Amino acid sequence: MEKVGHLINGDVLFDQSGTQPIYNPATGDVIRELMLAPRDTVNEAVSVAKAAFPQWRNQPAIKRARVMFEYKRLLEANRETICQLIGQEHGKIYHDAMGELQRGIENVEYACSAAELLKGEYSKNVGQSIDSWSEHQPLGVVAGITPFNFPAMVPLWMFPMALVCGNCFILKPSERDPSASLYIAQLLKEAGLPDGVMQVVQGGKEVVDTLLEHDDIEAFSFVGSTPIARYIYGKATEHGKRCQALGGAKNHAIVMPDADIDNATSQLLGAAFGSSGERCMALSVAVTVGDDAADALISSLTDKVASLNVGAFDDDSNDFGPLISREHQLKVKGYIDSAENDGAEVVVDGRQVSVDGYPEGFFVGATLIDKVTTTMQSYQEEIFGPVLQIVRAKSMDEAMAIIDAHQYGNGTCIFTRDGEAARYFSDHIRVGMVGINVPLPVPVAYHSFGGWKQSLFGDLHAYGPDAMKFYTRRKTITQRWPSAGVREGTSFSMPTL
């Protein structure tokens, strides 16, 4: 059995305090064995990173950026290997994995502009012969904890920017599909990153807790579910660390009476069922305004949802793959059961799907549920599966009130031809990322990503301009070089001009 280890000081190590199986979710087979890092290995990773920091932070920003230029080339040259690893352990269809990786690479491209991003502010003569400037200094050793659903992209949201800002980075990938994350970290060495600047430690809660309590870690970036995001934010800040913790989601699309139903249908299909709905930006609820819009949408969606292909990652004709685990498969089916028991109408039922040649895979077929209400458990919680629920509202105000009342506020979208309605919606809705006829409004790498309400704990969003702020601290220097022989007297009052 192939073992998946840690990356410490440029080498892969297989220290373990225990092991955990890694599954191919399409076959249900165990395909690799994950080494769970002992506490000593985690501490070693941090001390190696701490030792590498002084030299790395003193490199000119342009030199750090050059590592990223080469890293981008290597990621592109190794796309196939990375997407195979994602497919084998996550189950994501190859074409979708390619999309994930490309969105990750765009963050590397943004990090290539480090020298420009890190330019400070300068003011000459803030007082007589006194100049002042502000600069962005790296924090030191920072850590990233990432979820299973984007094993390449979400780590790439974090470490390229952390590294070019002059920090050393410890990545703790998801224990369920760690191989792609480890592989992309290994490529950094080939790109010219000095050993010790980037480390990977594998494991679950014990490893995370060791990092959270470690005195030498300055900041945490977390992406995952809301209960864990809340826990990590609380514990990190209690230990005096900077933290951004992105959590779960329940993303609603409003379908207005004037919407182009054909367009809304095709956009909803991809956004609800792509990656089996295991995306934090998946559109899992459509709120229709008026019964006519609801009936038209259901009739347009039904056959198309029923004909979506679910299967293994290496057949590009599949629309989406299996869920990440047997446990998650049962959980998603349980949500469909609960919606039905609560009185909703299961229009297309994916609970009994079977995939030829993959009898033990963790599959759930595409599911469409109508007449869902806001009191149902299937509405209130994040399902994270290939399930699209329809909630019927009577007016746009009611539809917006439904979205605003939900605990999550990650992404949302409106389908309409009415510019005034779209403008009102984007201005007032209490959600962090908004699409207007754009179903997955994931910001590009030079904007930042983050939700509102229970979808984000902390102030700064992920990647983009906010990442530079998150991974640096500001220092302001005020300088005077007195001319020879000119000395000012002592003053005990607050200095003014």
User: Which of 83, 112, 243, 280 is labelled catalytic?
Assistant: 280
Q: Within 342-439, where are the H helices?
A: 377-380, 396-405, 419-428
196 versus 432: smaller Cβ distance to ligand NAD: 432
By DSSP bridging, strand 130-138 and strand 121-127 are antiparallel
The amino acid sitting at 284 is S
User: In whole angstroms, how close is the CB of 148 to ligand NAD at the nearest point?
Assistant: 4
> Cα angle vertex 67, ends 104, 473, to 5°?
80
Long-range contacts of 467-471 (CB under 8 A, 24+ apart): 467/157, 467/158, 467/161, 467/162, 467/165, 468/117, 468/118, 468/136, 468/161, 468/165, 470/219, 470/221, 470/242, 470/244, 471/138, 471/139, 471/142, 471/161, 471/162, 471/165, 471/167, 471/219
User: In whole angstroms, how close is the CB of 420 to ligand NAD at the nearest point?
Assistant: 30
Backbone angles phi, psi at 84, to 5 degrees: -65, -45
Is residue 112 annotated as part of the catalytic site, yes or no?
A: no
149 versus 288: smaller Cβ distance to ligand NAD: 149
Note the residues at the interface with ligand NAD (CB under 6 A): 145-150, 154, 172, 174-175, 204-205, 208, 223-225, 228, 231, 246-249, 280, 382, 384, 410, 451, 455
State the maximum Cα–Cα separation within the chain, in Å, rounded to a whole number.
90
99 versus 194: smaller Cβ distance to ligand NAD: 99
User: In whole angstroms, how close is the CB of 177 to ligand NAD at the nearest point?
Assistant: 9
- Strand ranges inside 334-437, DSSP E: 345-348, 367-370, 387-393, 408-409, 411-415, 433-436
User: In whole angstroms, how close is the CB of 34 to ligand NAD at the nearest point?
Assistant: 11
91 versus 224: smaller Cβ distance to ligand NAD: 224
User: In whole angstroms, how close is the CB of 22 to ligand NAD at the nearest point?
Assistant: 13
Give the whole-angstrom CA distance, residue 416 versus residue 391: 17
Q: What residues act catalytically?
A: 280
